[in-house]
Amino acid sequence: MKVLVVGNGGREHTLAWKLANDSAKPEIFCTPGNAGTAELGTNLAFGAGDVDGIKGWCIANQPDLVVIGPEAPLCAGLTDLLEAEGIRVFGPSGAAAELEGSKQFAKEIMKAAGVPTSAYETFTDPEAACEYVRERGAPIVIKADGLAAGKGVTVAETVDQAEAAIRDALEGNAFGDAGSRVVIEDFLIGEEASILALIDGENVVMLASSQDHKRIFEKDEGPNTGGMGAYSPASIVTESVLKKVKEEIYDRTLAELKKRGIVYKGVLYAGLMIDDGQPSVVEFNCRFGDPETQAVLARWDGDMLPAINAVIDGSLSEGLIRWKPEHSVCVVMVAGGYPGNYEKGNVIENLDEANAVADTVVFHAGTALDGDKVVTAGGRVLGITSLGKDLPDALSKAYIAVETISFKDAFYRNDIAHRELRRLENG
């Protein structure tokens, strides 16, 4: 059985690792992959956005399954292109992926469906947008409508910052076409958490909860990143919150999509803000989260392929998914300077030693092979992921492994899971 994983981040290494360990023992291909996926199978040369190249390879090589990791090929309709060639694909159609591809579309669906989320307005005219933020006040959130590689969101603390973000997007072309329209949303208060759910067009099965740490510096300071670490489960997501997430968020969203002739199949990530037990949607993503995937899949007990096949075949049920009772933590190591400019090509030392730490896997993100050495090849370099009998145990293993690894200017946060630790301390 041949499985192709599309993408080259930590999420894709984790998906490839989980699938490679499946009892069906599939042959793994990854495109373009990284130094971690190269150890699990064959890396191909097509970039994740090269939909024609990937389609050509699939026609010639007939994989039994293609799992698409990142949003860009999903929003570009790679699922539709491959399905038209008779290839089995895990990932939503281009129309369904618009939930991430257009913030305006996602808000319109949520508003029509009565999904809890912040109030918003959409603008293409900078003057009208600035007038709106002056009326509304700060803090306020400015989002580029389209895909902006994780850089299109500004949480403005002041009206001046909001106006600058509006002008950057609408006048300065900071995000190209993706920013030619902005969605301006009220700032939500509360605590963030992430839910990933598998959806087979009809049935929704939510995966274990997690919490991401988006800011670069400890105490959640500094610029936003793709995520500096995650842990699972996140106790802020109580049974009662989960019930609301299912009924008020997933069920309502899917029903509204269906009314518009859109069937959602794949994973739908709901970025949540939880305030006093009430979840609201901060954003939808049409893919697995990164680094949430590392933390969540580390706890998936047994095979994942049956659930993926059930998503594609429309036969998904809760019974296909079991969770290990252990807690997990993923600590992301980045290249110094990230999320701004950073060096590439620095040799990463002691990966084997870190992988030898008990209950720990080092997932690669921005890594590449240079001869027989593993070198940095991106800003997000590694996601060190550990399981433990409780959160402190998982954290202790993860940080032992992190401290074992070295590369020039390596940077990581020392306070992953700090909110959960505080909750534990406070009983």
**Binding segment (CB under 6 A) for ligand GLY, from list 38-46, 154-162, 282-290, 303-311:** 282-290
Assigned token pair, 209: 């909860």
Residue type (1 letter), 45: A
Assigned token pair, 42: 């064959």
Residue type (1 letter), 104: Q
3-class secondary structure, 382: strand
Q: Give dist(CA 354, CA 348) in Å, integer.
A: 11
Over the window 196 to 235, marking each residue x when it contacts ligand GLY by CB under 6 A and - when it does not, the resulting string is ----------------x-------------xx--------
Pick one of 33, 63, 233, 289: the residue that binds ligand GLY (CB under 6 A): 289
**Binding segment (CB under 6 A) for ligand GLY, from list 72-80, 183-191, 289-297, 353-361:** 289-297
| Distances in whole angstroms, Cα of residue 163 to Cα of each of 120, 122, 157 | 16, 14, 11
Minimum distance of ligand GLY from residue 68's CB (angstroms): 14
Q: In 27-174, where does DSSP find H-type helix?
A: 35-38, 51-61, 71-75, 78-83, 94-101, 103-113, 126-136, 159-170
Pick one of 292, 303, 326, 420: the residue that binds ligand GLY (CB under 6 A): 292
Minimum distance of ligand GLY from residue 152's CB (angstroms): 11
Minimum distance of ligand GLY from residue 90's CB (angstroms): 17
Minimum distance of ligand GLY from residue 373's CB (angstroms): 29
Residue closer to ligand GLY (CB basis): 63 or 69: 69
In the sheet with 182-186, reading across from the earlier edge strand, the strands are 120-123, 182-186, 140-144, 153-156
**Binding segment (CB under 6 A) for ligand GLY, from list 42-50, 137-145, 285-293, 326-334:** 285-293
List, in sequence order, every residue forming a beta bridge with 27; answer none if it has no partner. 2
Minimum distance of ligand GLY from residue 226's CB (angstroms): 6
Q: Give dist(CA 235, CA 231) in Å, integer.
A: 10
Is 290 a binding residue for ligand GLY by CB under 6 A? The answer is yes
Dihedral angle, C-alpha 308, 309, 312, 317, nearest 10 °: -80
Pick one of 232, 285, 294, 346: the residue that binds ligand GLY (CB under 6 A): 285
Say if residue 32 is preceded by a cis peptide, omega within 30 of 0: yes
Number of chain positions touching ligand GLY (CB under 6 A):
7
Residue closer to ligand GLY (CB basis): 104 or 285: 285
Contacts with ligand GLY, residue ranges (CB under 6 A) = 212, 226-227, 285, 289-290, 292
